[in-house]
């Protein structure tokens, strides 16, 4: 096949992968795949098993064709697998080809078919932005989580010391106490826990209220604030990249122009009349 024919074929595949109808079809098949996984968890008549297996293989072949089109339509095939999402999609599709009946790898095949639902993230840009924002925010979130763990540990040690005799199932040791505190933080019947200890220690309400204030109100809001701030930054980066691709002036360009105008005005004002 000539170079011109290959180039024309690549353009057709690129046009197809950028087609909105094609993207919607892929999303529809992913949703249908998720429904098939859900249906398989119910007791079904014997005659439906071959139908479900056939549909499963049809979905797998569709994904194989789809990833092939995306690869052939990519103008830079050498860098195709440098994109983590492309690697993830390819692994999911390739491992999905493992037969799931009467095979030692049946469990892996079933798990991968479940994880095919995650391909929705790689297809929808907004979901990719959310995941990217979470990954970018992880270093900042790590320090907040570490501080939360310290608070949990201190309060769990106090709870195990004072409340273990009241209810060993909730405060028997520090590990169980941390689980109980997680229940308190999520407001899951936490008042029952509080009233039980208040029957022995009337002022123990201060223990619970101070813990809830620190964990549920302070630290969780800090986590939300960090994620929202990072998400806003990612949206700005995407908007700047789209503006640059469209040839529109970005915020940095405007700042540079303003700085240049300011320097010109200063130079003119300093010039003797």
- The pLDDT of residue 245: 62
CA quadruple 184, 186, 192, 197: dihedral, nearest 10 = 0
Residues 109, 8, single domain; the answer is yes
- The pLDDT of residue 243: 67
Residues 144, 116, single domain; the answer is no
* pLDDT tens, residue by residue, 242-262: 666 665 555 566 666 677 777
Tokens of 144: 């907040």
Position with higher pLDDT, 126 vs 145: 145
User: At residue 65, what are phi and psi to the nearest 5 degrees?
Assistant: -65, -40
Residues 105, 207, single domain; the answer is no
- The pLDDT of residue 126: 78
CATH number of the domain to which 238 belongs: 1.10.287.70
One DSSP character per residue, 102-155 reads S-TTHHHHHHHHHHGGGHHHHHSHHHHHHHHHHHHHHHHHHHHHHHHHHHHHHH
Q: Flag whether 128 is in a domain.
A: no
* Host domain of residue 192: 140-246
Contacts of residue 80, Cβ cutoff 8 Å, sequence gap at least 6: 71, 74, 86
Chain centroid, CA 123 distance in Å? 13
* pLDDT tens, residue by residue, 194-237: 999 999 999 999 999 999 999 888 888 888 888 888 888 877 77
Lookup result for tokens 């049946």: 106
Number of domains in the chain: 2
């Amino acid at each position: 096949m000539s170079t011109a024919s290959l180039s024309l074929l690549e353009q057709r595949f690129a046009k197809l992968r950028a087609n909105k109808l094609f993207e919607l079809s892929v999303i529809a098949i992913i949703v249908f795949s998720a429904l098939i996984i859900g249906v398989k968890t119910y007791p079904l008549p014997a005659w439906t098993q071959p139908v479900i297996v056939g549909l499963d293989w049809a979905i797998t072949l569709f994904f194989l064709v789809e990833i092939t089109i995306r690869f052939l339509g990519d103008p830079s095939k050498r860098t195709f697998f440098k994109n983590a999402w492309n690697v993830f999609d390819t692994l999911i599709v390739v491992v999905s080809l493992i037969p799931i009946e009467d095979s030692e790898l049946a469990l892996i095949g079933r798990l991968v078919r479940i994880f095919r639902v995650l391909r929705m993230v790689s297809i929808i840009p907004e979901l990719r932005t959310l995941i990217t924002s979470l990954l970018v925010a992880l270093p900042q979130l790590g320090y907040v989580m570490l501080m939360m763990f310290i608070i949990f540990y201190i309060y769990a040690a106090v709870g195990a010391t004072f409340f273990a005799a009241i209810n060993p199932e909730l405060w028997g040791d520090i590990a169980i106490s941390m689980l109980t505190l997680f229940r308190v933080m999520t407001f899951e019947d936490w008042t029952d826990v509080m009233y039980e200890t208040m029957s022995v220690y009337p002022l123990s309400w201060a223990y619970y209220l101070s813990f809830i204030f620190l964990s549920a109100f302070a630290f969780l809001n800090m986590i939300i604030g960090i994620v929202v701030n990072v998400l806003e930054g990612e949206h700005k980066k995407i908007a700047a990249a789209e503006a640059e691709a469209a040839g529109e002036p970005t915020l940095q360009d405007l700042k540079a122009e303003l700085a240049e105008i300011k320097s010109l005005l200063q130079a003119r004002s300093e010039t003797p009349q």
